[in-house]
A and B are shown apart, each in its own frame.
Chain A
């Protein structure tokens, strides 16, 4: 879904259902295409697509009631927010450790649960924040500086 704007930043909002494995990933593929259509460089659209996909599959596999992916595109930035209302992450540092996963067996059988989801999100963002509280949910905020990607650059992380 693309909300109408008048020359300012464009805001794309996608709702994702919990447990909907059949459609999981479609929103992210659409986001990548929408960004390309808005003139975002292919490299940046790809990075945004990866962030959105990992966020989307986290909503499908882990969230209680699904959640929302909101992408805001401005002249210099692509901001991506992935938000749900629970269950929340118990130990964020552990969740950010490559290889750590709490994916249920049904998700692992489908090829999820490599424990790289949040790492991939972080690696593709120029700026990354994660806020999560048991019972109230998780909010991941990512920023891509358009066409200024440096794969080896340091990317600050905030967690609460």
Chain B
């Protein structure tokens, strides 16, 4: 799916002006904790998050994330949107929950990104 199709699927809006609607969204990672985002090894992933701290777009920049989807109606600040704009990282904003967002995207062919393996839980 491309960015435009994902936005429609999630009944969302693309907040960045240079909308890059044709970029392909084929992998995603959903998380609110920034250090978990930084454990990502896959550069061509889309970040799904309800975290609207100013650091989210900075982390996306460092990791070469291709797009950010803000869920649960959490709207990033105008300055974060402008910053993403300058970096060429499109932002989708949806009122759907993270669970629903992930479910809809998975059902439409988006797959998990590769991630660094974590230690298995004990027991």
**Minimum C-beta distance from B112 to chain A (A):** 17
CB interface residues, A 112-145, toward B, < 8 Å: 112-117, 119-120, 123
Q: Are A53 and B38 within 8 A (Cβ)?
A: yes
Question: B118's closest neighbor in chain A, by CB?
Answer: A98
CB of A58, distance to nearest CB on chain B (Å): 10
B34 within 8 A of A: yes
Chain B contacts for A123, CB-based, 8 A = 39, 116
Judge whether B55 and A110 touch: CB under 8 Å: yes
Within 8 A of B (CB), among A70-113: 98, 110-113
Query: How many residues of B are counted as interface, with CB atoms below 8 angstroms from the partner's CB atoms?
Result: 23
Which of these binds chain A: B8-16, B56-64, B101-109? Answer: B56-64
Q: Does B43 contact A (CB under 8 A)?
A: yes
By a CB distance below 8 angstroms, the chain A residues around B118 are 98
B120 to chain A, nearest CB (A): 11
Specify which of A28, A98, A151 is in contact with B58 (CB 8 Å cutoff): A28
**Smallest CB gap from B40: residue in A:** A50
B36 within 8 A of A: yes
Q: Across the interface, which residues of A come within 8 angstroms of B61, CB to CB?
A: 29, 32
Q: Mark B19-54, 1 if CB is under 8 A from A, else 0.
A: 000000000000011111011010100000001011
B65-91, CB under 8 A of A: which get 1 and which 0?
000000000000000000000000000
B-chain residues with CB within 8 Å of residue A117 when the two chains form the complex: 35
* Interface: A57 (CB within 8 A): yes
B residues near A57, Cβ cutoff 8 Å: 34, 55
Interface string of A46-65 (1 = CB under 8 A from B): 10011001100100000000
Q: Is A150 an interface residue (CB 8 A)?
A: no
Q: A24 within 8 Å of B by Cβ?
A: yes
Closest 4 CB pairs of A and B: A116-B35, A25-B58, A49-B62, A114-B35
Q: List 27 A-B contacts (CB under 8 A).
A: A21-B54, A24-B55, A25-B54, A25-B58, A25-B59, A25-B62, A26-B58, A28-B62, A42-B64, A46-B62, A49-B63, A50-B38, A53-B58, A54-B35, A57-B55, A98-B118, A111-B32, A111-B33, A111-B53, A112-B35, A113-B33, A115-B35, A116-B35, A116-B36, A116-B38, A120-B38, A151-B116
- 9 additional A-B pairs beyond A22-B54, A25-B62, beta carbons within 8 Å, are A50-B38, A98-B118, A110-B55, A112-B35, A113-B33, A116-B38, A120-B35, A120-B38, A123-B39
